[in-house]
Amino acid sequence: MGAGSGVAVRLLLPRVLALTLTLTLTLALTLALILALTLTLALALTLALALVLPRVLGGRVLGGWRGQVWLNRPAHPHP
C-alpha cells in the first residue's frame, strides 16, 4: 500500500456506495412490482372464480350473494 492508496479509496468509495444504493433500490422496486402483480393476479383469479364458478356449477351453490341456499335450481321456473 503506497501513499496514493488513501486517494484511491476516497475516489472509489462514492462509486461503490452509489452502485450499492442503485442495486438496492432496483431490487426493492422489482420486488414491489412482483408483489403488486401477484396480488393483482390473485384478485383477478378470485373474482373470475366467484363470477364463473356458480354458472359452471349450474346453480348448485351453497350460499349465494344474498346468503340464500339453492340446490338444483331449475333453469326455467315457469313451464
The helix (H) or strand (E) run that includes residue 17 is helix 5-56
Q: How far is CA 11 from the centre of its chain?
A: 41
How far is it, in rounded angstroms, from Cα 23 to Cα 20? Answer: 5
Question: pTM score > 0.85 for this model?
Answer: no
Whether 20 has a pLDDT exceeding 70, the answer reads yes
pLDDT, tens only, 24-34: 999 999 999 99
